[in-house]
Amino acid sequence: MLAAPVAAEPDISWGGELFAENCSECHMVPHNDEWFKARADAGNMGSYDSLRTMVQGCANNFGLPWFDEEVDAVTAWMNQEYYGFE
């Protein structure tokens, strides 16, 4: 019997690099640190899954050829930096 593959933890530092390279041009003006924190504090992003869905949607909308690993890394980085979902 084959064991199910174990999912690797997302590489958070890589997620920060991907965000800087692909997302920051749009999301840091006017979406700066204060904007993300206010969004998190206001509850506009309700869960880790909704954050991941937003990251995947942005990747799709902008034609980024990301695999799940890239989406997971950016989601994990954004969660660590701004949202703090468990």
0.85 cut: is pTM over it? no
Each residue's pLDDT tens digit, 62-76: 999 999 999 999 999
> Bigger pLDDT: 28 or 81?
81
Each residue's pLDDT tens digit, 13-32: 999 999 999 988 877 667 77
> Bigger pLDDT: 53 or 25?
53
Q: What is the residue extent of each domain of the chain?
A: 12-26+44-83
User: b/e per residue, 40-59, with b = 16+ CB within 10 A?
Assistant: beeeebeebeebbeebbebb
DSSP assignment of 9-75: PP-HHHHHHHHHHHTHHHHTTT--HHHHHHHHHTTSS--HHHHHHHHHHHHHHTT----HHHHHHHH
| pLDDT at res. 84 | 87
* Average pLDDT value over all residues in the chain: 86
Mean pLDDT of 1-17: 78
Both structure tokens of 42: 């206001």
